[in-house]
């Protein structure tokens, strides 16, 4: 690796070219898609009242930026998603730890977790509205309900599959079960915790949007439902695009956390 | 001189839904201060079970064990245990891996830190103090694991096939290396192995176990003249072959009976 031979230089050059080609192609696909959409809408190939067009969406976005209403909707959805994500992360770690601590409790609860995890969570949303009212709390709980059960099961499985010999090591060093948890189980499961966070952030966003469909006066989910009812397709598609960007951004934040962790170790 | 470790009529069985498996049957032997003993036996005969019982990780069904004349009932901090794999934690530096035991036992005093640095220097690992375990060779990892055990200053060292995960060449040098470290420290050690030549090269006495349920078949004292005083040199001593054959015969006699 130290000696940079011609072969190595060629290899690196090829790798760079490959990466550049992929990146260029990605951007080209997007631009072509937008161009085609815009042209078809202008030429009347597609009905821009139903399919909207990139320029109409951009214009609509700009209008909402100038009257500041968009910030409220983005802010509400973002707040609800982050709140439910943080609650899911902490509560699922906590519950997985409790299950790990007591084998009998985990054996008893296992079928309930499986059922709750496979239940379509959107079915719960109307129930939550009746119980908790049409408030942000309902929406946060709806967001949590989508992610929390799977997250608990995922973490618990990784906790109990930690190398038994490593736990035995703790006992040979005269440690207790608490030491096994804090010195072996949790540190060795950090990569799993981060990867489950990556899944959770997406699921929480799904849950929050479902919640907003049913019980909100603001937020991107509300905007989508409202605009479909009044047939404002510009609003609707803009909201979807904003959700895409938000999902990407949130995922990238966790990706950055993961990179930071990997760099440390 | 009172033995440091004494086992009297130890019995142990494993229980599974399919039934009971008797692992150890009426095991008795003792170790005196500074002695290096090796336990050999057919694979799966319950050698590791024996160490887990001595370390208090499991309780015998009957029989008594004493350490320094006191009954050994629970996980004693005077016993150090080296497992088959080093199990150094990748999320800790070598230094913090070495301190794991002290961390668990409550306090890392300045003396412990000093001792850790001293041991790392002594065993040629000071350069790797802040490295991750993955940067160490197999032999160095095993040394780090030994330091992790020795830092707690145990009276008795239990070694559960600590070299079996290494490739053959590394294994010879590491067992030579670790063997000499333990000898110099004057610790009493009990090594479990399925490798007969390893047992002969390291031990003062070889305890041969029978097939499951294991009982003591024979205890063979091993002595070499002073010129063959290291594990590696022992292997080329003329007596080596004789000891090896004697143990081999003992293990195979067990085969014939069953």
- What CATH code is carried by the domain that includes residue B162? 3.40.50.300
Residues A116 and A77 in one domain: yes
**Chain B contacts of A171, Cβ < 8 Å?**
57, 75
Sheet strands side by side (includes B5-16) = B19-31, B5-16, B62-67, B70-71
Contact status of A263 with chain B (Cβ, < 8 Å)? no
Residues A139 and A38 in one domain: no
Contact state of A184 with B81 under an 8 Å Cβ cutoff: no
pLDDT at A202: 94
Answer for the pair A143, A80: CB distance below 8 angstroms, yes or no.
Answer: yes
Q: Is residue A16 part of a domain?
A: yes
pLDDT at B211: 86
Q: Is residue B100 part of a domain?
A: no
**Chain A contacts of B157, Cβ < 8 Å?**
none
Asked whether the predicted pLDDT for residue A2 surpasses 60, the reply is no
Chain B neighbours among A 121-180 (CB < 8 Å)? Answer: 163, 165-166, 168-175, 179
List beta partners, residue B21: B14
Residues A95 and A181 in one domain: yes
Helix, strand or coil, per DSSP, at residue B210: coil
Q: Is residue B195 part of a domain?
A: yes
Q: How many domains does chain A have?
A: 2
With an 8 Å Cβ cutoff, the interface of chain B facing chain A consists of 55, 57, 75-77, 80-81, 83-85, 87, 89-91, 100-101, 103-105, 132, 148, 152
Residues A14 and A89 in one domain: no
CATH of the domain at A181: 1.10.3720.10
Dihedral pair phi/psi, residue B21, rounded to 5° = -120, 115
Residue of A nearest to B83 (CA): A169
Q: Is residue A1 part of a domain?
A: no
Residue of A nearest to B102 (CA): A173
pLDDT at B258: 46
Q: Is residue A53 part of a domain?
A: no
Nearest-by-Cβ selection for B57 from A171, A183, A187: A171
Contact state of A172 with B85 under an 8 Å Cβ cutoff: no
Residues A230 and A147 in one domain: yes
Alpha helices, DSSP H, located in chain B: 47-54, 94-98, 100-104, 110-122, 138-150, 168-185, 196-202, 231-234, 238-257
Q: Is residue B147 part of a domain?
A: no
Q: How many domains does chain B have?
A: 1
Instruction: Please give chain B's pLDDT, 258 residues, in tens.
Output: 678 899 999 999 998 898 888 899 999 999 999 999 999 988 878 888 999 999 888 889 999 898 888 887 665 678 999 998 899 999 999 999 999 999 998 778 899 999 999 999 988 899 999 999 999 988 889 889 999 998 988 989 999 988 887 888 888 888 898 888 888 888 899 999 988 999 999 999 999 998 888 889 889 999 888 888 888 889 988 889 999 999 999 888 755 554
Contact status of A54 with chain B (Cβ, < 8 Å)? no
Range of the domain at A42: 6-46
Residue of B nearest to A264 (CA): B91
| Run of H or E residues at A207 | helix A190-215
pLDDT, average across residues A19-40: 96
Nearest-by-Cβ selection for A173 from B91, B104, B132: B104
Range of the domain at B48: 5-89+156-257
**Chain A contacts of B105, Cβ < 8 Å?**
173-174
Residues A100 and A174 in one domain: yes
Residues A33 and A81 in one domain: no
**Chain B contacts of A179, Cβ < 8 Å?**
104
In angstroms, the Cα distances linking A27 to A16, A20, A23, A239, A252 are 17, 11, 6, 22, 18
Asked whether the predicted pLDDT for residue A149 surpasses 70, the reply is yes
Asked whether the predicted pLDDT for residue A213 surpasses 80, the reply is yes
Q: Is residue A36 part of a domain?
A: yes
How close B101 comes to chain A (CA, Å)?
5
Residues A80 and A115 in one domain: yes
Residues A204 and A155 in one domain: yes
A255: Cβ contacts below 8 Å, ≥ 6 apart: A198
Q: Is residue A56 part of a domain?
A: no
Sheet strands side by side (includes B216-221) = B79-82, B156-160, B188-192, B36-40, B205-209, B216-221
Residue of A nearest to B58 (CA): A171
Q: Is residue A60 part of a domain?
A: no
How close A254 comes to chain B (CA, Å)?
20
Q: Is residue A128 part of a domain?
A: yes
pLDDT at A106: 94
Q: Is residue A59 part of a domain?
A: no
- Count of CB pairs separated by less than 8 Å, A with B: 48
Contact status of A245 with chain B (Cβ, < 8 Å)? no
Going by pLDDT thresholds of 50, 70 and 90, the confidence category of residue A265 is low
């Amino acid at each position: 690796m130290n000696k940079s031979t011609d072969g190595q230089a060629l290899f690196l050059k090829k790798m760079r070219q490959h990466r550049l080609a992929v990146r260029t192609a990605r951007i080209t696909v997007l631009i072509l898609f937008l161009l085609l959409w815009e042209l078809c809408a202008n030429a009347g190939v597609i009905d821009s009242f139903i399919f909207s067009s990139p320029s109409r969406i951009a214009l609509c976005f700009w209008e909402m930026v100038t009257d500041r209403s968009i910030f409220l909707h983005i802010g509400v959805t973002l707040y609800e998603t982050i709140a439910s994500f943080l609650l899911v992360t902490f509560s699922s770690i906590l519950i997985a730890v409790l299950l790990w601590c007591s084998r009998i409790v985990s054996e008893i609860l296992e079928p309930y977790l499986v059922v709750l995890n496979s239940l379509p969570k959107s079915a719960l949303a109307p129930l939550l509205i009746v119980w908790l009212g049409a408030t942000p709390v309902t929406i946060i709980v709806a967001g949590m309900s989508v992610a929390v059960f799977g997250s608990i099961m995922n973490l618990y499985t990784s906790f109990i599959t930690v190398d038994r010999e490593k736990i035995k090591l703790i006992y040979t060093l005269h440690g207790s079960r608490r030491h096994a948890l804090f010195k072996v189980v949790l540190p060795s499961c950090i990569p799993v915790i981060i990867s489950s966070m990556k899944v959770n952030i997406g699921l929480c966003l799904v849950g929050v949007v479902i919640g907003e469909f049913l019980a909100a006066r603001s937020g991107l989910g509300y905007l989508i439902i409202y605009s479909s009812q009044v047939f404002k397709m510009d609003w609707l598609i803009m909201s979807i695009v904003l959700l895409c960007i938000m999902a990407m951004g949130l995922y990238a934040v966790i990706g950055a956390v993961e990179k930071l962790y990997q760099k440390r170790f | 001189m009172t033995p440091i470790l004494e086992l009297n009529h130890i019995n142990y069985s494993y229980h599974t839904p399919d039934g009971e498996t008797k692992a150890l049957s009426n095991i008795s032997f003792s170790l005196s201060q500074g002695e290096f003993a090796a336990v050999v036996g057919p694979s799966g005969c319950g050698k590791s079970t024996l160490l887990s019982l001595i370390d208090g990780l499991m309780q015998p069904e009957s029989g008594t064990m004493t350490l320094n004349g006191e009954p050994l009932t629970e996980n004693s901090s005077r016993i150090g245990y080296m497992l088959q794999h080093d199990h150094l934690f990748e999320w800790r530096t070598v230094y913090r891996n070495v301190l794991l035991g002290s961390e668990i036992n409550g306090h890392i005093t300045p003396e412990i830190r000093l001792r850790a640095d001293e041991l790392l220097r002594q065993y040629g690992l000071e350069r790797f103090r802040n490295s991750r375990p993955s940067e160490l060779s197999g032999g160095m990892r095993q040394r780090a694991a030994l330091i992790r055990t020795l830092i707690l200053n145990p009276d008795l060292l239990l070694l559960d096939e600590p070299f079996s995960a290494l490739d053959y060449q590394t294994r010879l040098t590491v067992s030579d290396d670790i063997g000499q470290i333990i000898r110099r420290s004057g610790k009493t050690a009990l090594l479990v192995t399925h490798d007969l030549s390893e047992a002969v090269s390291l031990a003062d006495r070889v305890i041969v176990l029978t097939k499951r349920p294991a009982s003591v078949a024979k205890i063979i004292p091993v002595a070499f003249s002073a010129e063959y005083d290291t594990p590696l040199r022992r292997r080329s001593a003329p007596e080596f072959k004789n000891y090896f054959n004697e143990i081999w015969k003992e293990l195979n006699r067990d085969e014939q009976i069953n």
